[in-house]
Structure 1
Amino acid sequence: MKKILKTILPMAILLLVTANCKQEEPFDGYTVTGTVKGLNTGWVKLTEAANRNKVIVLDSTEIVNGTFEFKGKVEAPDMVNLVIENKSAWFFLENSDINIAIDWSTVKPEDWQFTPIVSGSKSNDEFERLEAESQAIFKKPKYAPLDSIQVAYAKAKKNNDPKLLEEAEALQKKLSPLSEERRAEYTKAKYNHAKNNPSSPVAVYFLGYQYTEGRMSKGQLKEFYNLFQGDAKKTAFYRNHITKVYKDVFENLGEGNKAPDFTLDTVDGKALSLADVKGKYRLIDFWASWCIPCRESFPHLKELRKKYGTDNFEIIGIGTADAENKWRKAIDEDQISWIQVYDDAGMGDEKRAPYGPVAKLYGVPHLPTTFLIDENQTILLRNATKEELDAKLIELLGY
């Protein structure tokens, strides 16, 4: 009997230890532990990154005695927004133990962002390292002369001196090759990292808004859209930004697609639809009073309209992301004679309101954005250069 007990007892202990080990298997998801100095109570939300159309809440939790915790699991590392009292910060969420320290006493009421200290996320560490390295390009000694441009413009503005403004413009022109060299070096760092790390979620965000129509050629837009794979394609930025830009340019609102109809009020307050505008070829021009390139394009548009007449070539200017009073003032100052409608974002007289509903409908990436369409509202050119627009009109109209 004693011999049997001696055999059974160790086995029972072994089974008990094994059972306890199974219960204590390590958690393979993420635990985000946060401290908020200066804010004892409230709510914290995790929201999806890079989504400008709507806020998608991934999780929320309460702040208790200045601390909060999130627990869950992600399929792949991704950037998320941390939102407290309508102010936000970002960090990379991955399956690890992540600590976030926030000093709320340094956050001002007018701030819309705050800066947390994040530890425990390798993806976050990598992104911050890459950003620091790319920003260091701007601090290289060989680019130091470029700082004088901003100083010159500030001096001209302070003194309201046209001569000083001319000097600032001349300095900017003189140093433009150096400025272009710096921009090229910065861009190359982002492009190369993406090409060398096509599966990395971090690489998607490091490339960031370099992936826009204004900064990439159409060939590059195709290249980088098709470059990313694996976890990189699972990121919110790839879904919400990169995919949208690609589809807008090549599928939804690219050359050969139909320009969607819209109705907006003219300067005189009359409703006007795109379909109502006559003209064999029409140029839709999204612009704002504060947009210097927009207003610099007007003299050439006047020349084209004079050359071809309104039956062959009409322009529909759409004021967007602008205060209505400033939009109207710019029309008077620049003596614009073609059709003008206002894309109201409902923000009153704010200088830079968000894009209005029609700009959003057209997926406007930047200002100016233009679409040359025919009588059937088929898009013939999207964001054409001055030279491309001239050549296309000569091709279409024969002179």
Structure 2
Amino acid sequence: MKTKPFWMAALVGCTMMVGCASQPDNQLKLDGTINGYEGEWIHLAYTVRDTVQVTDSTRIADGAFRFLRPMEVPVAQATLYIGNPMDYRNVKYAGLFIESGELTVAIDTANFSKPEVTGSAAQAESDSLNTVLDPLYAYVQAMRDSVSGNASAERKAYFQKQQEMYADSAKGIQLSFVKSRPHSFVALSYLPFLMGNMTYDELKSIYDNMAPEVKQYGNVGSVRDGLAALERVQPGRPAPLFRAVTWKGDSIGIADLKGKYVLLDFWATWCVPCRKSFPHVKELYKKYHAKGLEVFCVADDDSKPDTWKEVIEKDGIQDFYHVLRGLKWDRSKGVDGMDHTNDISDLYAIHYLPTKYLIDKDGNIVGKFEDEALDAKLKEIFGN
């Protein structure tokens, strides 16, 4: 899609010409219908590029609303919402793709999050993908609903594997969509949610292949940040340095353990797989600690430090080094209240838990490992 003329120039030109009746080429005219919210304010929000956001508001009258405004970008991933965005219990969201031209949106109050949109080519592209994905999501939800709290452990394990299989299928479909559409803003919008499971080379290949005009808009900054983070933790690179306060109140940095092999384990008290992995990590520690292995745990529990300390003792992992990730969050401000300045997880490109890195005696990244590969690598380093 070609970039439209800059909206300010169009507006200025129109004011200078007496009788100018035509609208700028990049004008958005969005007409919507909704029932049950008469007299309420409905808000339109979208990202122009990275952190530059636009918010507009209008009042619902006779079950209808209209947004008439210039589009600063050719296409944007937008949100229509009613209520206080800082209060998740009292806000309704509807996501859609907007672009210049005449768009209509019909919101069903019983299914607020899935509006019917016409006039947007980007939305039509997204809808075509969702036509394939929705049956997978519906099947996964049906499986979840079929497993009661009294179900046997075997039945729960079976359905968990089925859910994971279908979730992997959905990710595969999304990834194929992204790879096959280098000129699509819609494809770019999916990339931040997929890149957590990508290697650096895979993500770089997809990003490099994207059209230059696509890379100018939306949340492309998060993709660039993700690439930079992944590049930092490639095998052979110096492990990103940090310093934090341990659960016992001492200050420690990863550089303090130079001369040792360090298993850097990112986890959380609420992460079941993380805690299930600890018995095995304790075995490795017992086996290799005398030969030079340390375990350094970074927990995603900044909001619940007391629980974090309790779980360390409950799970018997007091011999390891323990710090919090360093994310500060003023929840009254929503996502805008997040402060990642000292976020260790960001330094190490953490998108899922648990994640384990091995760092060598010189402070360089050996790699990211799961259990079997980690066992083999430690055996290679330390012997039996």
Q: 2:346 — aligned with what?
A: 360
How far apart, CA to CA, are the structure 2 residues paired with 1:77 and 1:212?
25
Q: Structure 2 counterpart of 1:379, which letter?
A: I
How far apart, CA to CA, are the structure 1 residues paired with 2:136 and 2:81?
31
Count how many residue pairs are aligned between Structure 1 and Structure 2: 348
SS at match of 2:356: strand
Match for residue 342 of structure 1 among 303, 324, 345: 324
Q: 1:110 — aligned with what?
A: none
How far apart, CA to CA, are the structure 2 residues paired with 1:267 and 1:386?
26
How far apart, CA to CA, are the structure 2 residues paired with 1:148 and 1:43?
35
Q: CA deviation at 1:102?
A: 5.7
Q: CA deviation at 1:313?
A: 1.0
Q: CA deviation at 1:208?
A: 5.7
SS at match of 1:155: coil
Q: 1:73 — aligned with what?
A: 71
Q: Spell out the pairing of 1:1-399 with structure 2 (5 A cutoff).
A: 23-25=20-22, 27-33=24-30, 38=37, 40=39, 44=43, 46-48=45-47, 56-61=52-57, 63=59, 67=65, 69-82=67-80, 85-86=84-85, 87=91, 88-100=93-105, 116-139=115-138, 147=142, 151-156=146-151, 164-169=152-157, 171-172=158-159, 176=161, 182-183=166-167, 185-206=169-190, 209-213=193-197, 216-217=198-199, 220-237=202-219, 239-249=220-230, 251-277=231-257, 279-309=259-289, 312-321=292-301, 323-336=304-317, 337-343=319-325, 345-346=327-328, 357-381=343-367, 383-399=368-384
- Select between 294-303 and 266-275 the one with higher mean Cα deviation: 266-275
- What's the CA shift string for 1:212-243, capped at 9, x where partnerless? 22xx4555334433332244433424x13333
Structure 1 pair 131–360 and aligned structure 2 pair: CA distance change class (3 A)? same
Structure 1 pair 135–264 and aligned structure 2 pair: CA distance change class (3 A)? same
Structure 1 pair 93–74 and aligned structure 2 pair: CA distance change class (3 A)? farther
Structure 1 pair 296–181 and aligned structure 2 pair: CA distance change class (3 A)? closer
Runs of 5+ consecutive residues of structure 2 not aligned to the other structure = 1-16, 86-90, 332-336
Q: Structure 2 counterpart of 1:369, which letter?
A: T
SS at match of 1:297: helix
Q: Structure 2 counterpart of 1:331, which letter?
A: I
How far apart, CA to CA, are the structure 2 residues paired with 1:291 and 1:331?
13
- What's the CA shift string for 1:343-381, capped at 9, x where partnerless? 3545699xxx98873223433211112222234432221
Structure 1 pair 257–82 and aligned structure 2 pair: CA distance change class (3 A)? farther
Contact in 2 for aligned 1:62/1:68 (Cα 8 Å): yes
How far apart, CA to CA, are the structure 1 residues paired with 2:201 and 2:143?
35
Contact in 2 for aligned 1:286/1:319 (Cα 8 Å): yes
How far apart, CA to CA, are the structure 2 residues paired with 1:335 and 1:274?
22
Contact in 2 for aligned 1:324/1:348 (Cα 8 Å): no
Q: Structure 2 counterpart of 1:298, which letter?
A: F
How far apart, CA to CA, are the structure 1 residues paired with 2:363 and 2:192?
32
Q: CA deviation at 1:136?
A: 1.6
Runs of 5+ consecutive residues of structure 1 not aligned to the other structure = 1-19, 108-112, 157-163
Structure 1 pair 150–329 and aligned structure 2 pair: CA distance change class (3 A)? farther
SS at match of 1:199: coil
- Select between 337-346 and 287-296 the one with higher mean Cα deviation: 337-346
Aligned sequence identity (%): 25
Q: TM-score with structure 2 length normalisation? A: 0.74
Structure 1 pair 312–125 and aligned structure 2 pair: CA distance change class (3 A)? same
Structure 1 pair 293–279 and aligned structure 2 pair: CA distance change class (3 A)? farther
User: Once superposed, what is the RMSD of the aligned Cα atoms?
Assistant: 3.9
Contact in 2 for aligned 1:278/1:314 (Cα 8 Å): no
| Bigger helix fraction | 1
Contact in 1 for aligned 2:39/2:60 (Cα 8 Å): yes
Q: CA deviation at 1:395?
A: 3.9
How far apart, CA to CA, are the structure 2 residues paired with 1:148 and 1:73?
42
How far apart, CA to CA, are the structure 2 residues paired with 1:275 and 1:199?
43
Q: Structure 1 counterpart of 2:286, which letter?
A: K
Contact in 2 for aligned 1:255/1:379 (Cα 8 Å): yes
How far apart, CA to CA, are the structure 2 residues paired with 1:72 and 1:149?
44
Q: CA deviation at 1:302?
A: 1.4
Structure 1 pair 276–39 and aligned structure 2 pair: CA distance change class (3 A)? farther
Q: CA deviation at 1:67?
A: 4.3
SS at match of 1:23: coil
Q: Structure 1 counterpart of 2:343, which letter?
A: P
How far apart, CA to CA, are the structure 2 residues paired with 1:303 and 1:134?
41
Which has the higher relative contact order, 1 or 2, with Cα contacts under 8 A spaced 6 or more apart? 2
Higher-Rg structure is 1
Structure 1 pair 49–366 and aligned structure 2 pair: CA distance change class (3 A)? farther
Q: TM-score with structure 1 length normalisation? A: 0.71
Q: Structure 1 counterpart of 2:53, which letter?
A: V
Contact in 2 for aligned 1:33/1:99 (Cα 8 Å): yes
SS at match of 2:236: coil
